[in-house]
Amino acid sequence: MDTRNAAGAVAAVTATTRQGAVRGTLEHGIAVFRGIPYAAAPVGALRFAAPAPPAPWDGVRDATAFGPTAPKPPYEEPFATLLDDPVVPGEDCLNLNVWTPEPGPGARLPVMVWIHGGALTRGSSAVPVYDGSAFARDGVVLVSLNYRLGVAGYGLFPDAVPNRGLLDQISALEWVRDNIAGFGGDPDRVTVFGESAGAISTGVLLASPRAAGLFRQAVLQSGAPEALPRPHVRTMVRRMAARLKVPATAAAFAALPPQALLAAQTVVQRRSSPLLGGPAFGIVEDDDAVPGDPLERLVTGRAAADVPLLMGWTSEEYRLWLAPTGLLRHMDRLGPVTLAFGALRGRATSAEIRSARAARPDAGAGEVVGQLLTDRLLRDPLRRLAAAPRRATAHLYEFAWPSAVPGLGSCHALELGFVFDTLTLPGATSLTGPGAPQPLADAMHAAWTSFATTGTPGWAPWHRSGSPHRFTHPA
């Protein structure tokens, strides 16, 4: 049902969920609903519990503004300049957003569900670059969601269910299954996609029996399925407990103010890096949602063998972490020490290090190690998954266009504004710099839309002897 203003233009639009009706806005012909709860607010007894169903409401609930974001520390410089990460205060952070060209049952449009990145400690669905208008413009219902982050989502406690942030994502997918038809979407044509930690999450969801049947296809951008060793995650909780002077239990943490937890988390997570390693918050194996190594479950065909995949990376992922901080130059100066670290972190032999150096004779030690670690942590697992004897197709890509921002090159997260066709927004231009090519965004966005709609992005599936499809300077 539409609501019209005095001039007769459509100003608002409503849709119905199982919990009640919601009112969104019509923006340039696209119906947008923001901040719809898919689970109860994780407060009180639910703070470190599995997500619970949201309470129903009477009347029409306002869904015109982004809902609260999960508690998270701000990015420190220089990342705060490069990565937009708005904060929306409030406790009801388990919410999602919907962009649709045809609200109401009957349209049966393909659906894409976006899981944001941020090392499972930062990010949200309110990041401007994730605006779903372009997907809706092109006939896809776009859903984006928030989930619990950091210690709230992934802290490992003896008295709490693990992987709460992952369970939040599953709960959101169940909401999509149960409600998306009312927004014009087809619950049988759902594609889950994510970048970085969102791609890792997507890979784990592929392997999880709890998520089986909730989506048909998946896109992994710059992240491979993985579960961290439990000691790595437990160490983060113990370090926080030591700073807070409380036992390392969910009960003790739940008794503290959220801001105290966030302050302690901010300090302890400074020692971890997605590329360089160390203890971190992350997904772990458990007896329910993650019963075994997710990559092994996928490559052996025990899970998601019939789910088509689109996967890829940027050419110089490592530059986001190493170049802006000056660490890349420092690693170059250290030379042999850097190479020895790369061999240890990347589990590489001396022969492999020599081969990596020979392949890049003009590169410094930092770049050699950066590419080696990108291969070990990202490219090799995704190639292995693409080459596995699965029944469904797998398509690989490489994003190779270099940023105009000095030093970034084709870095991690650079492709996001191209995928969402949001190059003009600040969250995109901070990474791309001026003059990002719109034709390249047209091509990349069209490939994702085509994959969601037809099951193919427009190029042949991966073969062991082939190369990934390259997105680079437009012709």
Task: Write out the catalytic residue numbers.
Answer: 196, 317, 412
Could you tell me if 317 and 378 are in contact, meaning their C-beta atoms sit under 8 angstroms apart?
yes
DSSP 3-state assignment of 237?
A: helix
Cα–Cα distance measured from residue 296 to residue 225, given in angstroms and rounded to the nearest whole number: 9
* Largest pairwise CA distance in the chain: 74
Q: For residue 355, what are the contacts with CB-CB under 8 A and spacing of at least 6?
A: none
Q: Which residues pair with 396 in a beta bridge?
A: 311
Tokens 């710099």 belong to residue: 433
Q: For residue 149, what are the contacts with CB-CB under 8 A and spacing of at least 6?
A: 70, 71, 72, 118, 120, 121, 122, 123, 165, 281
Q: Which residues of 305-317 are buried (b: 16+ CB within 10 A; e: fewer)?
A: eebbbbbbbbbbb
* 78 preceded by a cis bond (ω within 30 of 0): yes
Q: Which residues pair with 21 in a beta bridge?
A: 16, 60
Could you tell me if 320 and 313 are in contact, meaning their C-beta atoms sit under 8 angstroms apart?
no
The token pair at 199 is 């791609």
Strand locations in 203-352 (E): 217-221, 309-314
Tokens 């399925």 belong to residue: 225
Give me Rg for the CA atoms of the chain: 22
Q: Which residues pair with 141 in a beta bridge?
A: 111
Cα–Cα distance measured from residue 170 to residue 120, given in angstroms and rounded to the nearest whole number: 15
Cα–Cα distance measured from residue 455 to residue 105, given in angstroms and rounded to the nearest whole number: 23
